[in-house]
């Protein structure tokens, strides 16, 4: 099954990823002029040495954040199925688990386990990749990934697929917790 990024949403995410790469000091390199010295008939090239990075962990965290966003976008339209385990369909917690597995993070399978991950975050401080937990049908929990600009991505039982939804008062009333599982690069 092939998932395409929706038009209009892929470009800003890719530009954001490019900006994160290019704005970090580790992206720059210092180079000695390459005069191509000859040694025993072979052309030897002068090595390029990277500058000392200001905060390589911060760059990697921003890259992880962007990889989560791209992974989330690639799941748009995936079929919803409660309790799904091995099929291509996902429920909300499996969606989160798969997206984070793509960046090497091993998250638990259920929302009841995922709600204890990372650090608690105030809703006013939401960042891309944060997990939002909601009450759903009584005592059940539902998890979504915060994308940016007031949008979340989640596996919607109502729509039967993975969708992006704008946060609204209905969502806010049901919010139980916000957790940050990605390191804060600031």
SS3 sequence of the chain? CCCCCCCCCHHHHHHHHHHHHHHCHHHCEEECCCCCEEECCEEECCCEEECCCCCHHHHHHHHHHHHHHHHHHHCCCCEECCCCCCCCCECHHHHHHHHHHCCCCCCCCCHHHHCCCCEECCHHHCCCCCEEEEEECCCEEEEEEEEECCEEEEEECCCCEEEEEECCHHHHHHEEEEEECCCCCC
- Closest alpha carbon to 68 in 93, 115, 108, 104: 104
Question: How far apart, in whole angstroms, are the C-alpha atoms of residue 152 and residue 25?
Answer: 31
The stretch 11-31 carries a mean pLDDT of 45
The stretch 96-107 carries a mean pLDDT of 95
Q: Can you give the pTM of this predicted structure?
A: 0.69
Residue 149 has pLDDT above 50, yes or no: yes
Domain boundaries, the chain: 55-180
Q: Which CATH superfamily hosts domain 55-180?
A: endopeptidase domain like (from Nostoc punctiforme) (3.90.1720.10)
User: Which pair of structure tokens corresponds to residue 94?
Assistant: 């499996």
User: Which pair of structure tokens corresponds to residue 105?
Assistant: 């993070």
Q: pLDDT for 60-94, tens place per residue?
A: 778 899 999 999 999 999 999 998 877 789 999 99
Percent of the chain with pLDDT over 70: 67
Neighbours of 113 (CB within 10 A): 12
């Amino acid at each position: 099954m092939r998932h395409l990024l929706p038009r209009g949403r892929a470009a800003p995410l890719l530009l954001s990823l490019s900006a994160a790469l290019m704005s970090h000091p580790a992206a720059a390199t210092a180079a000695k002029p390459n005069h191509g010295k000859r040694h025993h008939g072979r052309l030897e090239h002068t090595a390029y040495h990277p500058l000392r990075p200001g905060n390589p962990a911060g760059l990697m965290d921003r890259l992880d954040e962007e990889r989560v966003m791209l992974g989330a976008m690639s799941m748009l339209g995936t079929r919803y199925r409660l309790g799904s385990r091995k099929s291509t369909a996902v429920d909300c917690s499996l969606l989160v688990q798969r997206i984070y597995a793509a960046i090497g993070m091993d998250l638990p399978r259920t929302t009841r386990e995922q709600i204890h991950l990372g650090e608690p975050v105030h809703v006013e401080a939401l960042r891309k990749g944060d997990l939002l937990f909601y009450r759903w049908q009584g005592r059940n929990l539902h998890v979504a990934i915060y994308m940016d600009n007031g949008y979340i991505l989640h596996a919607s039982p109502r729509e039967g697929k993975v969708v992006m939804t704008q946060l609204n008062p209905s969502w806010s009333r049901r919010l139980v917790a916000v957790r940050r599982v990605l390191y804060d690069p600031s």
